[in-house]
């Protein structure tokens, strides 16, 4: 490849969206460096060799969004099936619908409740409102569903997931889940939902195959940093603290490890994801991937499942979730300051901006970054000072 104009570090959804836009829209060459042996980042999927079932290597990924632009963009690379995510959670040997809805409340309290009765019951369980918005995950959850349900279905799961006192975690983590006083038990409210018909692996491979984009796999940016070809712009989507050699300290990250098992059943658990709420069970969820593609014909003698174990980042478990405690957010501010001084580098994605982005948000933020920062830079136009990506919400 001739000299690239742009080098992108990380072939996740953010990096691939930027690379595709720069190559397809501006006709410029892009070199993407990816330390793993496949493109796609955490959304990557592949065919399980033993069962032929498409598995999401880093855990279940369900696409959902309300943004028409993002939906149209992603559909250029694959159509989507009409899968709608529903989750159940196991607590002390009983199974409950998640997110919490009228069905969960009736089962948990062992009563037939009308929506009004359920609202009144939860208001009593939640206690007196403090008058100020909840400041942390525990306050937010207790004010939304009451303490008994918080203790049963949220506290243990949250401790396993984050290994952090829920009173130190931000309320937004739990606001991701709706609470419904009806029997609707879909995990997401969004207008557009589904799984790519081509699989995430297929969708991401099509993005990566954009003419003008070259991907170098098994290549860690930090190993080749001193011998990169000349380029005009670097887009970095790895962990921001690593970029700066941890100079301001280590940010808190959570990772996940998957344990695969092939089971002698055509249907192990009847649905794609079952959560395990109790602290005594070491995994948070079991994924059974065959359920994501009802349109495919899989063999029905065996099924493949992954047990998910949250853990600290390690050699076999990359940082995946930012632990956005007040202390970590302060630390991130120090990195953000340093990022501003790097005038030829744009920081993006979940790891580069230390944000809990879903796939549609990673794509949306990459499209915005392309239009407001990257395109003007490459076309020689001035970029508004406030438009550095690390500042964008």
In the three-class reduction of DSSP (H, G, I as helix; E, B as strand; rest coil), residue 146 is classed as coil
Residue 190 tokens read as 């969004």
Catalytic site residue from 21, 29, 36, 285: 285
Contact of 229 with 214, CB cutoff 8 Å: no
Least Cα distance to 252 among 176, 335, 133 occurs for 335
180 is an active site residue? yes
Spatial distance between the Cα atoms of 262 and 164, rounded to a whole number of angstroms? 32
73 is an active site residue? no
Of residues 59-98, those binding ligand UDP (CB under 6 A): 89, 98
Strand order in the sheet with 285-288: 94-98, 87-91, 273-276, 285-288, 303-311, 253-263, 321-322
Residue choice 7, 30, 31, 33 for contact with ligand FAD (CB under 6 A): 33
297 is an active site residue? no
377 is an active site residue? no
176 is an active site residue? yes
Would you count residue 158 as binding ligand UDP (CB under 6 A)?
yes
Q: Select the span of 46-54, 72-80, 157-165, 382-390 touching ligand UDP (CB under 6 A).
A: 157-165
Residue choice 71, 157, 221, 298 for contact with ligand FAD (CB under 6 A): 221
Of residues 302-341, those binding ligand FAD (CB under 6 A): 320
Catalytic site residue from 180, 302, 324, 336: 180
Least Cα distance to 10 among 28, 30, 46, 36 occurs for 36
Catalytic site residue from 147, 342, 356, 391: 356
Catalytic site residue from 176, 225, 260, 296: 176
Of residues 265-284, those binding ligand UDP (CB under 6 A): 275, 277
Torsional class of 51: left (φ above 0), alpha (ψ -120 to 50), beta (otherwise):
alpha
The item of ligand FAD, ligand UDP, none sharing an interface with residue 41, based on CB under 5 to 8 Å by kind, is ligand FAD
Q: Is the CB of 123 or the CB of 279 nearer to ligand UDP?
A: 279
Catalytic site residue from 5, 139, 308, 318: 308
> CB count, 10 Å around CB of 43?
22
> 30: which residues sit within 8 A by CB, 6+ positions away?
4, 5, 6, 7, 8, 18, 19, 22, 23, 212, 213, 214
Binding residues (CB under 6 A) for ligand UDP: these are 89, 98, 153-154, 157-158, 161, 173-174, 176-177, 275, 277
């Amino acid at each position: 490849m001739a000299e690239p104009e742009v080098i992108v570090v990380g072939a996740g959804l953010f990096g691939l969206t930027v690379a595709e836009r720069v190559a397809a829209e501006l006709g410029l060459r892009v070199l993407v460096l990816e330390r793993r042996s496949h493109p796609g980042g955490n959304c990557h999927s592949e065919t399980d060799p033993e069962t032929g079932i498409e598995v999401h290597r880093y855990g279940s990924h369900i696409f959902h969004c309300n943004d028409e632009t993002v939906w149209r963009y992603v559909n250029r690379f694959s159509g989507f099936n009409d899968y709608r995510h529903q989750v159940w959670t196991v607590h002390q040997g009983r199974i409950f619908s998640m997110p919490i809805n009228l069905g969960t409340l009736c089962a948990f309290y062992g009563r037939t409740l009308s929506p009004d009765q359920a609202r009144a019951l939860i208001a009593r369980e939640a206690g007196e409102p403090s008058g100020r918005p909840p400041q942390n995950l525990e306050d937010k959850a207790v004010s939304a569903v009451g303490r008994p349900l918080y203790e049963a279905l949220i506290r243990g799961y949250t401790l396993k997931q984050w290994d952090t006192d829920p009173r130190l975690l931000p309320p937004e983590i739990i606001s991701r889940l709706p609470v419904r006083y009806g029997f609707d038990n879909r995990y997401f409210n969004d207008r557009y939902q589904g799984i790519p018909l081509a699989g995430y692996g297929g969708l991401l491979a099509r993005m990566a195959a954009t003419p003008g984009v070259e991907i170098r796999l098994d290549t860690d940016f930090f190993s080749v940093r001193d011998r990169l070809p000349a380029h005009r712009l670097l887009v970095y989507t790895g962990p921001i603290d690593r970029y700066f050699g941890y100079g301001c300290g280590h940010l808190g990250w959570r990772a996940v490890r998957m344990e695969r098992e092939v089971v002698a059943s055509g249907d192990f658990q009847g649905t794609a994801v079952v959560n395990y709420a109790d602290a005594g069970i070491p995994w948070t969820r079991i994924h059974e991937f065959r359920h994501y593609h009802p349109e495919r014909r899989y063999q029905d003698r065996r099924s493949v499942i992954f047990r998910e174990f949250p853990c600290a980042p390690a050699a076999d478990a990359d940082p995946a979730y930012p632990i956005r405690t007040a202390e970590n957010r302060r630390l991130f501010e120090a990195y953000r300051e340093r990022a501003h001084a790097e005038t030829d580098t744009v920081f993006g994605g979940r790891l580069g901006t230390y944000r809990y982005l879903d796939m549609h948000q990673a794509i949306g933020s990459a499209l915005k970054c392309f239009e407001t920062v990257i395109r003007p830079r490459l076309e020689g136009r001035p970029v508004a000072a406030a438009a550095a990506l690390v500042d964008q919400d």
